[in-house]
Amino acid sequence: MTALHIQPIKDDNTLLPEPEGWLAWVLGQPVSRGTATDRGCPINYFEWGDPANPPLILLHGFLSHAGCFAAIGPYLAKDHHVIAYDLSGMGDSGTRERYSDETRVAELMAVARQTGLFDHKRKPVIIAHSYGGNVAIETMQAHHSEFAGAIICDLMALRPEHLARHFSGNRPPGSQDPDRPNKIYPDYETARGRYVLSPKQKVEEPYLLEYMAYHSMKRVDGGWSWKFDPGVFRRDTTREDRWERQGPRIVEAPGRKAVIYGQRSLLFTDDSADYLRELGGDDFPIIPVPNARHHLMLDQPIAFATALLSVLEMWRAADRTEQ
């Protein structure tokens, strides 16, 4: 691995302004970049902290990338070894023919194994945002004994009767056609103008939105285009009822878990928290981050990091008590 700072490519540094204040500090913290491999597919990851510390593995949302944790990783790294990776078909990782749940689980296990997370005396904790939460749940279903727990962050879990209203007004970027190549824009400014969050929202830290947009695109012949593979839109028809089952899936997932959500999120609301408790989810913490929307790490990154650290310390204290 070659140590680097997660910053724009030097010859493009005029496209993204220099961070200021606390962001300058957090984005300037040491971080390494490496490549794991799962069945021939290269998986890009970032690494913060000392491998001697308890391990964490971070999963991003749909069409996103590991850079979403750029302002979170350094805070977690004070007492943890942190790995955040780009899911295949997104960010700077390789592509596949299919992106099944089984593939996502195998990929997570491969990254954790190759970065040494399973070598520590403490088992890794999964921290997963949005779509990454689905991967975390599937992984805990298959391998919960190999992890110390999962923190699910703003994974959509609306009551079934609220789903139709949500899907009528929200759609991710791109054509959603798995067989249609991503559009090429003539310059960065045009491409940047097409970048939107899903669901649409403003953010409290505008620099982080610019950061996310920049690292979601790449130079190609003829201009700029998205990094994600359109093939990720190819749906697994056996999972079409997943959204209606999302609440029960979270509650029924084995192993230790916690939920953190943005209190102004459209995907996981205060009513979602009540819904999980009604389903029997009263044995794990469900923590709101005030004034945060779905993309907590762009809205309230320090509060989000504090919530994560609080859950991790609570679990560590519980482990010490049991010893």
Question: Where along the chain do its domains lie?
Answer: 2-171+241-322
CATH architecture observed for domain 2-171+241-322 = 3-Layer(aba) Sandwich (3.40)
Q: Cα 213–185–174 angle (5° rounding)?
A: 60
Q: Write out the chain's pLDDT in tens, 323 residues.
A: 434 444 443 446 678 888 999 999 999 999 999 999 999 999 999 999 999 999 999 999 999 999 999 999 999 999 999 999 999 999 999 999 999 999 999 999 999 999 999 999 999 999 999 999 999 999 999 999 999 999 999 999 999 888 877 655 555 555 577 878 999 999 999 999 999 999 999 999 999 999 999 999 999 999 999 999 999 998 764 555 678 899 999 999 999 999 999 999 999 999 999 999 999 999 999 999 999 999 999 999 999 999 999 999 999 999 888 76
Position 170 scores a pLDDT of: 54
pLDDT of residue 204: 94
Q: Which residues of 38-60 are buried (b: 16+ CB within 10 A; e: fewer)?
A: beebebbbbbbbeeebbbbbbbb
For 278, the enclosing helix (H) or strand (E) is helix 270-278
Tokens 């491998």 sit on residue: 51
Supply the pLDDT for residue 7: 43
pLDDT at 11: 45
Are the CB atoms for 299 and 205 separated by under 8 Å? yes
According to the model, what pLDDT value does residue 262 have? 98
Give strand ranges (E) for 24-76.
Answer: 31-38, 41-48, 55-59
67: nearest Cα among 111, 103, 96, 31 = 31
Calculate the CA dihedral of residues 139, 145, 148, 150 and round it to 10 degrees. Answer: 30
Query: Rounded to a whole number, what is the largest CA-CA distance in the chain?
Result: 60
CA-to-CA separations, 268 to 217, 261, 276, in angstroms, rounded: 28, 6, 10
